[in-house]
Amino acid sequence: MTWIRACTVQQIPEDEGFRLATTPPIAVFRAAGEFFATGDTCTHDEFSLAEGYLDGDVVECPLHMARFCLRTGKVLAPPAVVPLETYPVRLDGDDLYIDVPEHSGDR
């Protein structure tokens, strides 16, 4: 795993997501004052979860309404059945870092 600088805190408004152009893409969320990082692509269909709807620590895919827990990646509502990959997040001042697998590309 490798820590990468994802963005600044200011780049992610409360209850919104931010897509990182890594390989695979990663979504960073700010929900209820906390930051989470997951795989950006819905496991049901090819759609960005950074554009999804947040309700606490849950993201809903706007395409087919699959829901996932941002803390664990667990599927909470179909049609998805495969959980999301989750990534550790840390703050360093105003910068947000994500611990990603070494095969992920740069932003």
Question: Beta partners for 12?
Answer: none
Q: Are 35 and 91 in contact (CB under 8 A)?
A: yes
Which of 84, 77, 103 has the alpha carbon at shortest distance from 23?
103
Question: With a cut of 70, which residues of the chain have pLDDT below it?
Answer: 1, 103-107
Domain ranges of the chain: 2-100
Task: State residue 103's pLDDT score.
Answer: 56
Task: State residue 76's pLDDT score.
Answer: 98
What is the per-residue pLDDT across 85-97, written as a single tens digit (0 to 9) for each? 999 999 999 999 9
Task: State residue 98's pLDDT score.
Answer: 97
Q: Which CATH class is domain 2-100?
A: mainly beta
% the chain with pLDDT above 90:
88
Which of 8, 7, 34, 11 has the alpha carbon at shortest distance from 21?
7
Task: State residue 101's pLDDT score.
Answer: 78
Task: State residue 106's pLDDT score.
Answer: 47
